[in-house]
Structure 1
Amino acid sequence: MKTRFKPARLKLSSDQSTRPLARLSLHDQLVARVREMIIDGELAAGAALPERMLCETFGVSRTPLREAFKILAAEGLIELRPHRTPVVTPIDASEIAEIFDVMVALDAAAGRAAAARATADDIARLDALHAELVALHHAAERAAYFRLNQQIHAEITRLAGNSVLFNMWSTLHASVFRARAVANYDARRWDESLGEHEAFMALLRARDAAGFAQALSDHTRKTGDSVLQMLDQAKLDHTELDQSRDA
C-alpha cells in the first residue's frame, strides 16, 4: 500500500493548514524544513512527496521545491524518479549494517589521528560544540541535536588530516544520515549516546589517542546496533499491522 502525503498529519506550530516560508533564504529554509520532517519521522520511509501538496503546504512554487529536492536527494533522504513522484528513501537494513561495519573502522582510524594532531584550539572548539550538544539534549531539541551531533563527528574526522579518509567517511555518512537519526527516537539510546560523547571527549582532552579512538568507534558500533534494532522493530510492527488488517 502506497503511503500518501497528508498535510493534516504534520506537526504544525499553529492552527493554520499551511506553513509559508519567509522570502529570505527561501531555498535553505525549504531544504531544512523538509529534511527535519524526514528525520523526525513526519514523512516516513517510502512516503510519496507530491509537488502540488508540498507547494501548498509551504506556500512556494515548484521551482524552489525541485531545487530543494535535488539537495535532499544528494543527502540520500529522498529518491528522484523520472516521470514519477519522488519518495522518501526507504531504509535497507542489510546495507545499513554493512556501512556501519566500515564506519566503525573509519572512526577508529580517524579518532587516533585526530587526537594526535588536534591543537588546543581544535579541542576547545570541539568542547564548545559538545557543550551546545548537552544543552540541546536537556532542552529535548532532537532535530537540532542530531544536526550538531553529525557536525561534531564530521569535525573529528576532518581533524584526522586525511582527505581520502574524510571523503570515504562523508560518502558513507550520507548513506546512513537518516538511519542514524532513527536511534535517537529511543529516549534511552539518546541518553546513552550523550554519555558516550561525554566519555570520548574526556579522552580527547586527556590526549589519550588510543582510548579516544576506541571510544569513538565503540560509540558508532552501538549507534549502528541501535539503528538495526529499531529497524527490525519497525518491520515487525508493520507486519503485525498488516496481519491485523487482513484478519
Structure 2
Amino acid sequence: MTSPAPRPKLKTRFKPARLKLSSDQSTRPLARLSLHDQLVAKVREMIIDGELAAGAALPERMLCETFGVSRTPLREAFKILAAEGLIELRPHRTPVVAPIDSREIAEIFDVMVALDVAAGCAAAARATADDIARLDAMHAELAALHRAAERAAYFRLNQQIHTEITRLAGNAVLLGMWSTLHASVFRARAVANYDARRWNESLEEHEAFMALLRARDAQGFAAALGDHTRKTGDSVLQMLEQAGQDPGRG
C-alpha cells in the first residue's frame, strides 16, 4: 500500500518582493490618489490567487516599507479587506489572512442556490434587449479570458456577471442578501477555479444559462443558474477537503 503524498505547506511567510505595486516602486512611493485602491487590489489579488494562504501574517512595518507608504492608508486598506472576510484584524497583534470556515461556506452556498434561482427567474422576466446584449458582451469577454488563461481577470468578471444578473432581478432586499453572502464566500469561490476541469465546466455552464436567457426561458435560466452555483459550491468544498479541511457536511 502506497503512502499518501505529502501535503503542501501553507504559504504563511510574508514575501515582500511579491508586493511591488509598480515597476518603479523602489524609487518612489505610490501616487497618493491611487494609493488606497492599489493597496486593496494588490493584497486582495494575492489572497485570492493563493499567494498568501490562510494564516499568513501581514506585518504592517514590512508592508509599509515595501509599498513606501505610511500605516494610515495601509490600515484603511486592511479595513476593506477585513470587511470582505479576507483578513482578520486582531487587537495588538499582526493581522493575518483569514481562515476559510468550510462548514459556514457549505451553509452559505445552500442559501445562495435558492437566491440565484429566485434572482434568475425575476431577471429573465425583467431583462430588456439591451440588458441581455450587455450580459452577452460580458460573457464573450469571459470566454476570451478563459482562452487566454487569465484566471484572476476571469474570476473578477465572472463575479460581475453574477452581480449584474442579481441586480436585474429588481429586488433590493434580494440583492442585499445576495451581496452579503457573496462577500462571505468571495475567496472560497475563487478556489474552484484552481481546478482546470472545474474551470472549463464553469464556462460551459455560463454558456448554457446565457443561451436560456437569450431564449427568454425564465424557468430554465433560473434552474441552470442555481445548478451552476450548487456545482460551484460542491467544487469549493471538495477543494477545501483536499487541502485537509473538513467540508462541514457531517
What TM-score, normalized to structure 2? 0.87
Displacement, 1:183?
0.3
Distance of aligned partners of 1:243 and 1:11 in 2 relative to their CA distance in 1, 3 Å threshold: farther
Q: Is contact 1:8-1:17 (8 Å) kept? A: no
CA distance in 2, matches of 1:22, 1:101: 43
Corresponding position: 1:162 with 2:171: yes
Shift of 1:63: 1.2
Percent identity reads: 90
**Contact residue 29 and residue 67 of structure 2 kept, 8 A:** yes
Aligned to 1:243: 247
Cα drift, residue 52 of structure 1? 1.1
Aligned to 1:180: 189
- Alpha-carbon shift at residue 21 of structure 1 (Å): 3.8
Contact 2:102 2:248 in 1 (8 A): no
Separation (CA, whole Å) in 1 of partners of 2:97 and 2:172: 30
CA contact (8 A) 1:113 1:209 kept: yes
The answer on whether the counterparts of 1:46 and 1:88 sit within 8 Å (CA) in structure 2 is yes
Please tell me whether the aligned partners of residues 240 and 247 of structure 2 are also in contact (alpha carbons under 8 angstroms). no
Task: Extract unaligned runs of 5+ from structure 2.
Answer: 1-9
Shift of 1:6: 2.7
Match of 2:67 in 1: 58
C-alpha spacing 1:26/1:244, structure 2 compared with 1 (3 Å): closer
Write out aligned runs for 1:137-216 (5 A). 137-216=146-225
Do the aligned partners of 2:241 and 2:247 also contact (CA within 8 Å) in 1?
A: no
Alignment check: 8 A CA contact 1:19 1:57 kept: no
- CA offset digits 1:190-227 (Å, max 9, x no partner): 11111111110110010000110010000000000000
Q: Is the 8 A contact 1:203 1:211 kept in 2?
A: yes
Sort the Cα spacing of 1:195 and 1:13 in 2 relative to 1 into closer, same or farther, 3 A.
Answer: farther
Shift of 1:12: 9.2
Cα deviation code 1:169-191 (max 9, x no counterpart): 00100100000000001111111
C-alpha distance 60-9 of structure 1, shift in aligned 2 (>3 A): closer
1:126-146 deviation line (CA, Å, top 9, x unaligned): 111111111111111111111
1:22 Cα deviation from its structure 2 partner:
4.3
TM-score, length basis structure 1 = 0.88
Identify if the C-alpha distance between structure 1 residues 15 and 29 changes in structure 2 by more than 3 Å, giving closer, same or farther. closer
CA contact (8 A) 1:18 1:58 kept: no
The offset of 1:23, in angstroms, is 4.1
Structure 1 residues 215 and 2, CA, compared in 2 at 3 Å: closer, same or farther? closer
Contact between 1:10 and 1:42, CA under 8 Å: does it hold in 2? no
Q: Is the 8 A contact 1:18 1:57 kept in 2?
A: no
Contact kept in structure 2, 1:107 and 1:216, CA below 8 Å: yes
Give the deviation of 1:68 after TM superposition.
0.5
Moved more, 52-61 or 76-85: 52-61
Say if 1:46 and 1:90, in contact at 8 Å, map to a contact too: yes
Q: Which moved more, 1:126-135 or 1:199-208?
A: 126-135
Q: Distance in 1 between matches of 2:226 and 2:247?
A: 39
1:58 Cα deviation after fit: 1.9
Given that 2:237 and 2:247 are in contact with CA atoms closer than 8 Å, whether structure 1 keeps it comes out as: no
